[in-house]
Amino acid sequence: CDKEFLDVNEDPNNPVVAPVEYVLPAAITSTASAVGGEYAILGGIWSQYYTQNNGSSQYISIDQFNIQPTSFNNRWTEQYAGALNDYRFVKEKAAAAKEWNAYLMATVMEAYNYQVLVDLYDRIPFDEAGQGETKQNLSPAFRDGQAVYDSLVVRIDKALALPVSGGVDAKLGKGDVVFNGDMQQWVRFANTLKLKIYMRQVYARPQVAEAGIKALYASGAEFLDEAADMAIFTDATSKRNPLYEMDQTTALNSNQNLKASNTFFSFLQVNNDPRLDKVYLPGSGGQKAMVQGTSGISTSQLVPATVSRALILPTAPVYFISEAESYFLQAEAALRGFGTGDAAALYSKGVDAAFEQIGSERMNLYPYPANGSFEDRLETIIVQKWASFAGTYQGLEAFLERNRTGYPETSEVAATNAAYQPGEFTYPVEGITSGKLFPTRLPWPQDEVQRNPNAPQTPEPITKPVWWDVK
């Protein structure tokens, strides 16, 4: 009698188990909340599409390169305790039930997520991560970024080798917020992600990159010919594009913080690129930009309302790998001679896809310098990649690719100097890093450093390159 009387401690409010198709969407959205939310702001500003408005100060620390260990606690937490722990759960449940389709999805998204972490933080918890409940491990060891990269490839290969079904997995259907269960696209996503992982190492470990990419092509791998994106957002509170939700709604008291940066703005303007009106909302006097990192200007000298601001749409998808990015990666592989295909044609498909994605006409913009030097051709590809990532899309990836390749280049002169070349990066006027160095990583988040004795206890400056950033 006593046992029954006291036996009332099972939570009536929350389930203790759930089918994988109901856990995957939350996990993928957690990843999207990073690359399409706070990191989109970080990337958008650091890729100099945007700069902080001078009438408000929400993102001033990003614009000034004044990043604190507390700045990105939330995203780190969302990636590890949100995304990665849920992918682990899905993988375990899927393996037990031999649901290999779900297993592949979780593996690819997990790898995608881990790559973002390595690219931002270099050394990260990896093989011991996510074991808080299963192994009571509350202080996972940190691993070198390079070792994580190698493991990611192994994990993807292992999942691809499993009996994944062709066609559409109806059971997963709505749970797959990327491809609605289309397994062929998932295999392509896996291959394209591998290509991206190898390409990132091309300067740090040229042989590994070359061998890996060549093997990929030799196996007959197909790459994405449509975007791997999350496009389920609707224009209702808390169901919108994460960047829109956090920056443009009443969650924040002002939607005026992200302003057009002179860097990207001048690039579009000088090229008569019609994407300008898709990336920026004109100010009260038409389209106008402000110089990167000048939010300290008095509002009487620069009336905030006159400067164009970020055009962010509530239903814009979050892109993990865009169609254009897939082509640009393939173009670079071809350019380097690692992959098959024609670099010029792949480049052109990439630019076309980029214009199509944003809803503009390419006209005859941006021809491929077929006769240029290797670096000219590489620069053209990467600069167009940068342009394709603009706005709400993939600012973070643009920032990472610039770290890898050095494109777009940094201007020798200030943006206000007559010799300034449109599209070249300028050091933010109010930047605080010494030596006017651009950031190349994020500091390990304070929450992790304080709570995990195995975390590196000596902070690295944000201007220290990550392991693959050697060019």
Site for other proteins in 366-405 (CB under 8 A): none
How many amino acids of this chain bind other proteins (CB under 8 A)?
A: 108
Least CB distance to other proteins at residue 448 (A): 5
What is the x/- site pattern for other proteins, positions 298-317, by CB under 8 A? Answer: xxx---xx------------
Per-residue H/E/C for 293-349: CCCCCCCCCCCHHHCCEECCCCCCCEEEECHHHHHHHHHHHHHCCCCCCCHHHHHHH
Of 66, 79, 68, which Cα lies nearest the Cα of 35? 79
Give the H or E element holding residue 191.
helix 183-200
Q: Which one of 51-59, 328-336, 342-350, 383-391 is the stretch in contact with other proteins (CB under 8 A)?
A: 51-59
- φ, ψ of residue 18 to 5 degrees: the values are -150, 145
Q: Which of 16, 96, 170, 218 binds other proteins (CB under 8 A)?
A: 16
Q: Which one of 33-41, 161-169, 386-394, 410-418 is the stretch in contact with other proteins (CB under 8 A)?
A: 33-41
Q: Which of 45, 60, 187, 335 binds other proteins (CB under 8 A)?
A: 60
Of 78, 152, 75, 77, which Cα lies nearest the Cα of 108? 152
Q: Is 98 in the site for other proteins (CB under 8 A)?
A: no
- Compute the distance between CA of residue 362 and CA of residue 118 in angstroms, rounded to an integer: 34
Alpha helix (H) ranges present in 336-416? 343-358, 374-388, 395-405
Neighbour count for residue 410 (Cβ, 10 Å)? 13
- Compute the distance between CA of residue 119 and CA of residue 56 in angstroms, rounded to an integer: 30
Least CB distance to other proteins at residue 338 (A): 34
Least CB distance to other proteins at residue 219 (A): 33
Binders of other proteins among residues 122 to 141 (CB under 8 A) are 124-125, 128-133, 137-140
> Burial, 142: exposed, middle or buried (Cβ in 10 Å; 0-12, 13-18, 19+)?
buried
Least CB distance to other proteins at residue 467 (A): 19
Q: Is 215 in the site for other proteins (CB under 8 A)?
A: no
Q: Is 465 in the site for other proteins (CB under 8 A)?
A: no
Q: Which one of 1-9, 204-212, 214-222, 326-334 is the stretch in contact with other proteins (CB under 8 A)?
A: 1-9
Binders of other proteins among residues 159 to 188 (CB under 8 A) are 174-175, 177
Q: Is 192 in the site for other proteins (CB under 8 A)?
A: no
- Nearer of residues 67 and 183 to other proteins, judged by Cβ: 67
Residue 35 contacts residue 241 (beta carbons within 8 Å) = no
Residue 263 contacts residue 426 (beta carbons within 8 Å) = yes
The number of residues in the chain equals 471
CA dihedral 218, 222, 225, 229 (to 10 degrees): -110
Side chain identity, residue 92: E
Residue 257 contacts residue 59 (beta carbons within 8 Å) = yes
Q: Is 447 in the site for other proteins (CB under 8 A)?
A: yes
Q: Is 113 in the site for other proteins (CB under 8 A)?
A: no
Q: Which one of 153-161, 343-351, 391-399, 456-464 is the stretch in contact with other proteins (CB under 8 A)?
A: 456-464
Least CB distance to other proteins at residue 55 (A): 6
Binders of other proteins among residues 226 to 285 (CB under 8 A) are 232-234, 236-240, 242, 245-247, 249-256, 284
- Compute the distance between CA of residue 404 and CA of residue 45 in angstroms, rounded to an integer: 18
Q: Which of 30, 292, 384, 426 binds other proteins (CB under 8 A)?
A: 30
Binders of other proteins among residues 72 to 91 (CB under 8 A) are 74-82, 84-86, 88-89
Q: Is 288 in the site for other proteins (CB under 8 A)?
A: no
* DSSP class of 84: I
Q: Is 116 in the site for other proteins (CB under 8 A)?
A: no
> Burial, 3: exposed, middle or buried (Cβ in 10 Å; 0-12, 13-18, 19+)?
exposed
Q: Is 22 in the site for other proteins (CB under 8 A)?
A: yes
Least CB distance to other proteins at residue 24 (A): 8
- φ, ψ of residue 208 to 5 degrees: the values are -60, -45
Q: Which one of 201-209, 326-334, 383-391, 445-453 is the stretch in contact with other proteins (CB under 8 A)?
A: 445-453
Least CB distance to other proteins at residue 288 (A): 14
* DSSP class of 410: B
Binders of other proteins among residues 425 to 444 (CB under 8 A) are 430, 432-435, 437
